[in-house]
């Protein structure tokens, strides 16, 4: 299958391209700069020059592909929906995989699944109308699938590194918000890449949470990251207000208490995460 990928030079995108190629697919990847083009070309994908605002490029590349995986982060909901519409128009009845995130659910009550109600923080509230519009194409002959990923780790993780590890190196301890009892739905980037490839065969209109089934607390995660940094497991509590000053709006997402199960993807797609000990991996550094 020929797959067109956006965001291919990014953290998730590199893992997805590698997994697609390893499983026999060919890949064209959107590249908005020469540097991005070099990255995806080195992975084995054919660069498609343009950005998310280049709707004709997106539609044309999607029309020449058998499937589309949209990983690139849009600046606004309007930009994301316009890009998604162009690519869905282009790929027609081929699979179109759209990226969301579990943060849209807000706090969960115990272990939740894809049918949990939405209660998003402001940072991701824009996703609701976009995903509704994407999924609505299933009723008109499209094959949309939405994957809502949990908090990623493994490899060059951006979020944990930027918001916890880097400040921790300076302060001598890794911060957590409040008492750190809130749980996080983690997933290894390689497991998430496998889920995207498996979801190419999903039924139209399907939604999957991309999680590893392990939901450690923020304190446990911070302690493991601290050990990985050589800080002896030292952590420090900060208030949500302090976190907002340091991180901006994403602090409200890190303060969420979330637990999710990957059961639907396991049962419907035969996908099973293999990285099931995130704390051990984070502690290795």
Spell out the domain ranges in the chain. 2-151+187-210, 155-185+213-284
**Confidence tier at 170 by pLDDT (50, 70, 90):** confident
**Confidence tier at 100 by pLDDT (50, 70, 90):** very high
Pairwise CA distance, residues 205 & 165, whole Å: 37
| Average pLDDT of span 75-101 | 97
| Average pLDDT of span 186-202 | 97
- Give the residue from 66, 61, 103 showing the smallest Cα distance to 83: 61
Pairwise CA distance, residues 194 & 16, whole Å: 7
Predicted confidence at residue 212, as pLDDT, reads 97
Q: What is the pLDDT of residues 224-260, one digit of tens each?
A: 999 988 999 999 999 999 999 888 899 999 999 999 9
Predicted confidence at residue 285, as pLDDT, reads 76
**95: pLDDT strictly greater than 90:** yes
Predicted confidence at residue 162, as pLDDT, reads 65
Query: How high is the mean pLDDT of the chain?
Result: 94
Q: What is the pLDDT of residues 8-26, one digit of tens each?
A: 999 999 999 999 999 999 9
Q: Strand, coil or helix: what is 113?
A: coil
Pairwise CA distance, residues 204 & 200, whole Å: 10
Was domain 2-151+187-210 assigned CATH 3.40.50.720?
A: yes
Q: What is the pLDDT of residues 106-163, one digit of tens each?
A: 999 999 999 999 999 999 999 999 999 999 999 999 999 999 999 999 877 656 666 6
**Confidence tier at 171 by pLDDT (50, 70, 90):** confident
| Average pLDDT of span 66-81 | 96
| % of residues, the chain, pLDDT over 90 | 89
Q: Residue 239's Cα: distance from chain center in Å?
A: 26
Bridge partner residues of 263 (DSSP): none
**What torsion, rounded to 10 degrees, do the Cα atoms 217, 218, 220, 226 define?**
170
| Average pLDDT of span 65-75 | 96
pTM score, two decimals? 0.96
CATH number belonging to domain 155-185+213-284: 3.90.25
Pairwise CA distance, residues 157 & 17, whole Å: 17
| % of residues, the chain, pLDDT over 70 | 96
């Amino acid at each position: 299958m020929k797959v067109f990928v956006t965001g291919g030079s990014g953290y998730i995108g590199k893992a997805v391209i590698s997994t697609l190629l390893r499983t026999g697919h060919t890949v064209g990847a959107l590249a908005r700069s020469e540097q991005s083009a070099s990255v995806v070309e080195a992975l084995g994908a054919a660069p498609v020059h343009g950005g998310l605002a280049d709707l004709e490029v997106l539609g044309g590349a999607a029309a020449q592909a058998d499937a589309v995986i949209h990983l690139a982060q849009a600046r606004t909901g309007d930009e994301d929906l316009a890009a998604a519409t162009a690519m869905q128009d282009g790929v027609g009845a081929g699979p179109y995989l759209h990226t969301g995130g579990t943060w849209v659910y807000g706090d969960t009550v115990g272990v939740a699944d894809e049918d949990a109600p939405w209660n998003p923080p402001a940072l991701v509230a824009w996703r609701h109308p976009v995903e509704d519009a994407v999924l609505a194409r299933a009723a008109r002959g499209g094959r949309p699938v939405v994957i809502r990923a949990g908090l990623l780790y493994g490899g060059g993780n951006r979020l944990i590194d930027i918001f916890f590890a880097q400040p921790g190196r300076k302060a001598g301890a890794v911060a957590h918000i409040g008492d750190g009892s809130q749980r996080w739905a983690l997933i290894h980037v390689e497991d998430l890449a496998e889920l995207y490839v498996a979801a190419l065969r999903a039924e139209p209109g399907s939604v999957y949470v991309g999680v590893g089934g392990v939901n450690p607390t923020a304190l446990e995660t911070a302690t493991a990251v601290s050990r990985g940094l050589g800080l002896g497991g030292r952590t420090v509590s900060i208030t949500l207000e302090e976190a907002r000053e340091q991180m901006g709006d994403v602090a409200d997402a890190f303060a969420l208490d979330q637990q999710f199960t990957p059961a639907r993807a396991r049962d419907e797609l035969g996908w099973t995460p293999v990285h099931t000990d995130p704390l051990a991996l984070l502690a290795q550094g």
